[in-house]
Amino acid sequence: MAKKLNNKLVESAAQVLKTNDIGSYTQPADSLYPHQWLWDSCFIAIGLRNLDVVRAKMELLSLLRGQWHNGMLPCIIFRDDAKYHAARNQWRSWLSPFAPNDITTTGITQPPMLAEAVVKVGQKMAKTERRQWYKLMYPALLEYHEWLYKDRDPHGEGLVLQIHPWEIGLDNTPPWMNELHDHLMPFWVRLIEKLKLDWIITRIRTDTKKVPVGQRTSVAESLAMFDTQLRLRRKSYDIDRILDHSLFSIEDLSFNCIFVRANSHLEAMAKEINVMLPEELKKNIVKTKKALEDLWDPYSQQYYSRDFVTHRLLKTTSVATLLPLYAGSISKEKAEQLVKLLDNEHLYGTNYPVPSVAPESVWFNRERYWQGPTWVNMNWLIIDGLERYGFSEKADFIRRKTIKMVEEAGFFEYFDPLDGKGLSINNFSWTASLIIDLVENS
Ligand code: 2M8
């Protein structure tokens, strides 16, 4: 039963979600993102729970359609329409013996936001109903978290690694792109750059027909992502074979922070439904929280991602540095250090916070995708973390700024962190859903 809405902004946001609702799930945006994305659906359900709990549950349940037999939840479940044959065929998930039979997906995952979404939706239910909900979702979540450890922590270090920028959702984020440009760029992409043939690629790209080219991933970075994907496909998405020839293998900070929080939620769910987590998983959960501290750099007083093979910290700052607040496992002292970054306008305290890259970084570009703009999902995670650490004033400040930014500009995919201008496409689902959540739970 849909709830009565009490705010004009919430009403418009609900309308965006309704328009993007294509049955059992919500597309992130019409035309640019027509499929079902893992963490998008989680953020969408978090907003939907304020309007219609049944629909929010459906959003999350529909994600389980795509779960692989080894437990992986894929980043994208492709829409079943002849129109999208090329996308399905590019990934060819059927090459893996673990892929589901009747559905096509990517062969990689996305940040493990599902446990958070399940719990947040559960908060809107009475106890008995919530326990049923948890019992329904728990087995799939357990398999997913166990898969993350088994496949993505092969040395048992506690941190899980990612093999494609799409897995972290912050596609062209500087720590990854810096590695790419410095050490990993495929020779054929370098050649295209050198011969200045970018314009040919720009002409055949479909995303830049919908969004100004300066607001999307650069040509070289997009081609390198394509190259990465082909390598994964050639190895039929088998991690042992992939790690031999992988382009990227990074223990990403944002992914691991979300994983720490997701593990805490899984523990809480198990407790509420009276089941014991497997012993090995319990040990791993403790290990991950400890290992997160290995990503702290005492000199710059920030956290960073790490190269899986060499264990070198990738000391290029990005919004990920604030996500240990969301993880919730770091000390209050370190949390205080991170909050200071939000007070500095050259770092993460811009006029329209929180920028995905600090303005003082050489990588900062106020309009380009994950290299500067403000994203509402990052703000939601940071606000949630700030609240749990007791920085309520700061949390409230970012919440009000975020709501104001969207009220003024619209439900854009991302925003200029200096003047709040809406960037990329309008009517983007997680901007709408998380604004509903920020308004309704303030
Ligand atoms: C963006 O990623 C997709 C690929 O997954 C793309 O670049 O086409 C990212 O912002 C990602 O975080 C998001 O889940 C997806 C759909 O909104 O779009």
pLDDT in tens, 404-439: 999 999 999 999 999 999 999 999 999 999 999 999
> Could you tell me if the CB of 28 is within 6 A of ligand 1?
yes
Q: Using the 8-state DSSP alphabet, how is residue 29 labeled?
A: B
pLDDT surpasses 90 at 6 = no
> Could you tell me if the CB of 37 is within 6 A of ligand 1?
yes
- pLDDT, mean of residues 320-334: 98
pLDDT surpasses 70 at 1 = no
Contact 132, 273 (CB under 8 A): no
Q: Where are the beta strands (DSSP E) in 62-172?
A: 76-77
From residue 379, how far is each of 113, 291, 342 by CA, in Å? Answer: 15, 25, 11
**CA-216 nearest atom, ligand 1:** 7
Catalytic sites, residue numbers: 171, 413
Helix (H, G, I), strand (E, B) or coil at 217: coil
How many angstroms is it from 89 CA to the middle of ligand 1? 18
**CA-375 nearest atom, ligand 1:** 10
pLDDT surpasses 80 at 281 = yes
* Averaged confidence pLDDT in the chain: 96
Vertex 129: Cα angle to 123 and 130 (nearest 5): 35
**CA-39 nearest atom, ligand 1:** 14
Give per-residue pLDDT as tens, 26-62: 999 999 999 999 999 999 999 999 999 999 999 999 9
Give per-residue pLDDT as tens, 341-375: 999 999 999 999 999 999 999 999 999 999 999 99
Instruction: Name 402's bridge partners.
Output: none
* CA contacts within 13 A on the Cβ side of 262: 26
> Could you tell me if the CB of 33 is within 6 A of ligand 1?
yes
Q: In 3D, which of 417, 416, 411, 415 has the Cα closest to residue 431?
A: 411
> Could you tell me if the CB of 39 is within 6 A of ligand 1?
yes
pLDDT at 3: 57
How many angstroms separate the CA atoms of 222 and 237, rounded?
20
How many angstroms separate the CA atoms of 413 and 424, rounded?
6
Residue 170 corresponds to which tokens in the numbers above?
Answer: 């912050």
Instruction: Name 29's bridge partners.
Output: 33
Give per-residue pLDDT as tens, 127-165: 999 999 999 999 999 999 999 999 999 999 999 999 999
Residue 122 corresponds to which tokens in the numbers above?
Answer: 């559960």
Q: In 3D, which of 357, 366, 342 has the Cα closest to residue 416?
A: 366
Give per-residue pLDDT as tens, 193-245: 999 988 888 888 899 999 999 999 999 999 999 999 999 999 999 999 999 87
- pLDDT, mean of residues 168-176: 98
- pLDDT, mean of residues 159-186: 97
